[in-house]
Structure 1
């Protein structure tokens, strides 16, 4: 999605690409749709990439009061193709880009083809396209992940360690293809490293900022989502409220989270705050567990009690030995983000899921 500001004239090009490996309207659209809303609220003109005219029409219909001069589209059918963005970034006055597109799901048959290539080629591809065809671009923001920070081999109970932007996932290429979970973490790690390597070696006219969120939850954008196309992060809440975890709550996995609206704001602030240039941001609101999500639903939606696991049902809690620590001070101090509570995020998510039939 690309955009320019009224004064000074400016443009951004974040991408909303719905990978064919994800059911329609899943994946990156969850974050990018909120990014669009905040960019428009902040007065930017948005030119966003979509995979089809149908997606463009849905976004346009959801913003009936926004003129075409403030919200436009470019079709990019497959970000894993070399040169996919070459034409899309040829926009007069374009001076900033947000790239949010990368698959997050574990339903894969070929880890390299389904996860690694789209993430790495998509990320390096847009940077190459910007350098080649959009020399006016000054700022680029890329969505990475806590997956590029965490050392999975240490497990959740690495209690003496504090994760921050200084950490990099040490996963190797050999480990990456062993299973989809490794493949996902590797795709984020390799893609982000490739972006920083590109900036260091190619010395383009633009600066780079990367966003590294853990689990992203919060309200879905109804015009782009359905219960059949939920992103992996929100699926756990849908499972709880629709009776799929009555007998046992699924293990939490990652114990850090952020609300999608706070993450979207962080993307936009990374373009607007000078000090954000050439920095990596670990964007988290803090700890959560699946059990906590269940109890928030129980408290705020009594009508769903019969679908929820009972209070004594096992699973989904914190490890007895504790979990790793985190440092989100750069996000707070540089971007000025004030994080929403887990309760607010879950309540708004449940309401949005009910709106599409949950």
Structure 2
């Protein structure tokens, strides 16, 4: 039998990231050809070398060193002008920054508007849709929480909060998502836009990860419990007590990319509630050999009373999402981490 032609070409930004690695896996498994953007050739080579042999032929990479630079994506898109879709995940998520604007807000906002502008200039007729990895940070409104969160709610922030450090990540996501939809409204490109808004994302780390030191920020809490760093005291969970499995986030991106009716929509993704205590209890139950490293079972749970709820019926109805539970998510993450440790 001859080889099957790819379903289409997808340009995936931030290819070495946690969520992007799972999007890449699922795109390749679904038969797409993928071009990933990375900050260095070493990162691109690492991604491809970690893939199963049979999938490597359908992946290539483009180096985009600084997504906040003007015209950063121009050459990458110009060289791949026959792409059908763009999935934009490149945006900072960490707590090791010195300058909120330079290190966080500019890469998020300018990277988002930059990829949209490059697509409009150099792939104006081939690209059908851009899928933006956003966040529930663009939906949440702390401390004035409603009873139920859904995609109909828009988060708000001030410039002072954006520069505060604690509010910088949230502001970067709000400004980037707002800028993306404003671009579509004002520039009226031939492609449309969908926003994917996950909460805190856990799950198996990327296969190209060199070690647990390079683990994504949201998985640190699971890693720290496994390594015994929370033996005497569990790190406080808050302010976010909602989680979603990374594989569900990846699946939502691809379904939103393919589904015509998703045009212009936002999709909030939540798998359920969690606390660090609940994660520790799952690990204690499933991994007896880790007992000596785990927090004492009598330590209190900090999950708040009268916590807000959420409504993800839209993602279930339109995208057909079925969310993995916390036990499955933690087990698969720990299995991968134990293999890496």
Instruction: Work out whether the TM-score is over 0.5.
Output: yes
Q: CA deviation at 1:35?
A: 0.4
The whole-number CA distance in structure 2 between the counterparts of 1:225 and 1:168 is: 37
Q: Where does structure 2 lack aligned partners over 5 or more consecutive residues? A: none
Name 1:251's counterpart in structure 2: 236
Distance 1:32 1:141 in 2: 12
Q: Which residue of 2 aligns with 1:142?
A: 132
Cα distance, 1:10 vs structure 2: 2.7
CA distance in 2, matches of 1:115, 1:217: 22
Matched, 1:341 2:339: no
| Secondary structure, counterpart of 1:142 in structure 2 | strand
Task: Encode CA deviations 1:71-100: one digit per residue, 9 max, x unaligned.
Answer: 111111111111110011122421210001
Q: 1:216 aligns to what SS in structure 2?
A: strand
TM superposition score normalised by structure 2: 0.94
Give the superposition deviation at 1:11: 1.7
Cα deviation, residue 68, structure 1: 5.6
**Separation of aligned partners in 2, 1:64 and 1:295:** 34
Q: Structure 2 residue aligned with 1:226, among 187, 211, 225?
A: 211
Residue 162 of structure 2 corresponds to residue 176 of structure 1: yes
Aligned counterpart, 1:270: 256
Say if 2:267 is the partner of 1:281. Answer: yes
Normalized against structure 1, the TM-score is what? 0.90
Tell me if the contact between 1:237 and 1:350 (Cα under 8 Å) persists in the aligned partners. yes
Q: How far 1:224 moved relative to its partner?
A: 2.6
Corresponding residue of 2:122: 133
CA contact 1:163–1:324 (8 Å) conserved in 2: yes
- For residues 130-186 of structure 1, the C-alpha deviation after alignment (integer angstroms, 9 at most, x for no partner) is 1111111111001001111111222xxx4x52111111111111221012x200000
1:213 is matched with: 198
Q: In 1, Cα distance between the equivalents of 2:284 and 2:57?
A: 45
Q: What residue number does 2:312 align with?
A: 328
Paired with 1:353 and 1:67, the residues of 2 have a C-alpha distance of 24
State the match for 2:9 in structure 1: 11
Q: Deviations over 1:98-155 (max 9, x none)?
A: 001111111111111111111011111100111111111111001001111111222x
Paired position in structure 1 for 2:171: 186
Q: How many residues are matched?
A: 335
2:108 to 97, 101, 119: 119
Does structure 1 conserve the Cα–Cα contact (< 8 Å) formed by 2:14 and 2:91?
A: no
- 2:325, 2:164 → 1: CA distance? 36
Do the aligned residues in 2 keep the contact of 1:17 with 1:76 (CA within 8 Å)? no
* Aligned-residue RMSD, C-alpha: 1.6
Q: 1:67 to 1:340 in 2, by over 3 A?
A: closer
Deviations along 1:239-274, whole A, 9 cap, x unmatched?
111111122212221111110001001011111111
- Inter-partner Cα distance in structure 1 for 2:108 and 2:327: 32
Q: In structure 2, do the counterparts of structure 1 residues 146 and 225 end up closer, same or farther at CA, with 3 Å as the change threshold?
A: farther
Matches of 1:242 and 1:92 in 2, distance apart?
46
Q: Which residue of 1 aligns with 2:97?
A: 108
Pick one of 138, 144, 148 that aligns with 1:162: 148
Instruction: State how far apart, in whole Å, the 2-side matches of 1:67 and 1:334 are.
Output: 29
Question: What's the secondary structure of 2:189's corresponding residue?
Answer: coil
Q: Is the 8 A contact 1:17 1:79 kept in 2?
A: no
